[in-house]
Homo-oligomer: A and B are copies of this chain.
Amino acid sequence: MAQENNIPDPSVKRLARYLHLLTHMKEQGVEIVSSTYIAQEMNEDPTKVRKDIQFTGIVGKPKTGFFIDDLIDSIESSLNWNSTNLAYLIGTGSLGKAVLGYKNFERCGLKFIDAFDTDKLKVGKKFFGVEVHHISKLPQLASNLSNLIAVLAVPASVAQQTVDLIVESDIKAIWNFVPKNFKVPEDVIVENILLSQSLAVLTSKIAGNKIDN
Give residues in A with beta carbon < 8 Å to B.
1-2, 4-7, 9, 12-13, 15-17, 20-21, 41-42, 78-81, 85, 93-95, 97-99, 101-102, 104-105, 107-110, 147, 149, 172-173, 175, 179-181, 189, 191-212
Contact = CB atoms under 8 A, between A and B. Distances in A.
Contacts of A97: 94, 98
Given A79-B200, A94-B94, A175-B202, 10 more contacts: A1-B211, A12-B197, A12-B204, A16-B200, A17-B181, A17-B194, A42-B181, A94-B97, A109-B203, A173-B205
A196 B98 contact: no
A194 B94 CA distance: 18
Contact of A12 (B105, B191, B200): B200
A6 B211 CA distance: 11
A179 B191 CA distance: 18
A182 B102 CA distance: 20
Dominant secondary structure of chain A at its interface with chain B: helix
Contacts of A7: 204
B108 A203 contact: yes
B147 A206 contact: yes
A105 B196 CA distance: 7
Contact of A189 (B175, B198, B209): B209
B206 A149 contact: yes
A97 B96 CA distance: 12
B78 A204 contact: yes
A94 B99 CA distance: 9
Contacts of A173: 202, 205-206
A157 to B, nearest CB: 11
A181 B105 contact: no
A21 to B, nearest CB: 7
A203 B98 contact: no
